[in-house]
């Protein structure tokens, strides 16, 4: 009778071990599926975050470039408007030298000279600029007053390809001065594509007929 009980106990014990092994196997399978699902979710999150960062970076670059172009345009327009007023109020215009500066004769004052400086290609010592000076005779370069911030090589602007062309007055029309220049960001501004900007200005300005 004792042997039968012992055999039954052994059988029950064996079945218990089998059940435990099956439970362990099921738990491992469940753990495996959970890990795969975790990796899938993690991959999706990485993709979404990466796409969002790329989108935000693109927007930021576009915003940077728009701001730089706007600032360059504004500086160039200020220069052009100032020169426009001076030319329109002149009684005569004469080119001086190779088209890099012009002499404006005025009705009740000494002539005004407008000249392009340092507008060659980079590398160069500083920003290109336009200067003006009132003088009864041909002035020296040190006398010119800059129309832009030539000393700030980062936040200032660099004027290049600057020229003046004068069409002489005729019997029926006054002289015409064509002003041309390109405005860029300062020569030491960041060289990233979103910080690069240049704007071309070309304008034919007619003197008043007195």
Residue with tokens 């064509």: 178
Task: Looking at the chain, list the stretches that DSSP marks H as alpha helix, in order from N- to C-terminal side.
Answer: 2-88
Asked if the model's pLDDT at residue 4 lies above 50, the reply is no
Asked if the model's pLDDT at residue 115 lies above 60, the reply is yes
Query: How many Å apart are CA 146 and CA 169, to the nearest integer?
Result: 29
Residues 133-156 as b/e (b if ≥16 CB within 10 A, e otherwise) read beeeeebeeeebebbbebeebeeb
**In the chain, domain spans:** 67-206
Query: How many Å apart are CA 52 and CA 90, to the nearest integer?
Result: 57
Mean pLDDT of the chain: 80
Binned at pLDDT 50, 70 and 90, residue 145 comes out as very high
Q: What per-residue confidence (pLDDT) applies to 55?
A: 67
Query: How many Å apart are CA 187 and CA 181, to the nearest integer?
Result: 16
Q: What per-residue confidence (pLDDT) applies to 123?
A: 76
Residue 128, token pair as written in the block: 């290109």
Tell me the pLDDT tens digit for each residue of 79-112: 999 999 999 999 999 998 788 889 999 988 899 9
Asked if the model's pLDDT at residue 26 lies above 90, the reply is no
For the segment 28-37, the average pLDDT, to the nearest whole number, is 62
Q: What per-residue confidence (pLDDT) applies to 193?
A: 66
Residue with tokens 């594509």: 193
Q: Specify burial of residue 48 (Cβ count, 10 A radius: 0-12, 13-18, 19+).
A: exposed
For the segment 169-178, the average pLDDT, to the nearest whole number, is 89
Contacts of 206 (CB under 8 A, 6+ apart): 88, 173, 174, 175, 176
Contacts made by residues 97-104, CB under 8 angstroms, sequence distance 24+: 99/163, 99/164, 99/165, 100/162, 100/163, 100/164, 101/164, 102/164, 102/166, 102/177
Nearest to 149 by CA among 128, 120, 134: 128
- Identify the residue with better confidence: 45 or 210: 45
Q: What per-residue confidence (pLDDT) applies to 127?
A: 92
* pTM for the full predicted model: 0.68
- Give percent of the chain with pLDDT exceeding 90: 38
């Amino acid at each position: 009778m004792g042997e039968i009980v012992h055999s039954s106990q052994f059988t029950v014990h064996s079945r218990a071990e089998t059940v435990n092994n099956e439970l362990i196997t099921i738990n491992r399978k469940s753990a495996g599926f959970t890990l795969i699902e975790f990796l899938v979710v993690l991959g999706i999150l990485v993709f979404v975050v990466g796409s969002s960062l790329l989108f935000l970076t693109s927007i930021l670059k576009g915003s940077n470039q728009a701001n730089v172009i706007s600032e360059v345009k504004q500086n160039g327009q200020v220069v052009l408007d100032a020169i426009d007023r001076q030319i329109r109020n002149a009684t005569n215009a004469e080119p001086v030298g190779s088209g890099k500066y012009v002499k404006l004769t005025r009705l009740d004052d000494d002539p005004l000279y407008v000249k392009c400086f340092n507008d060659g290609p980079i590398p160069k010592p500083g920003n290109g600029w336009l200067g003006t000076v009132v003088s009864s005779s041909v002035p020296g370069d040190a006398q010119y007053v800059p129309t832009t911030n030539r000393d700030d090589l980062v936040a200032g602007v660099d004027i290049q390809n600057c020229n003046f062309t004068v069409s002489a007055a005729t019997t029926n029309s006054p002289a015409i001065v064509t002003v041309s220049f390109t405005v860029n960001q300062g020569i030491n501004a960041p060289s990233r594509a979103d910080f690069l900007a240049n704007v071309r200005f070309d304008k034919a300005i007619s003197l008043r007929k007195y």
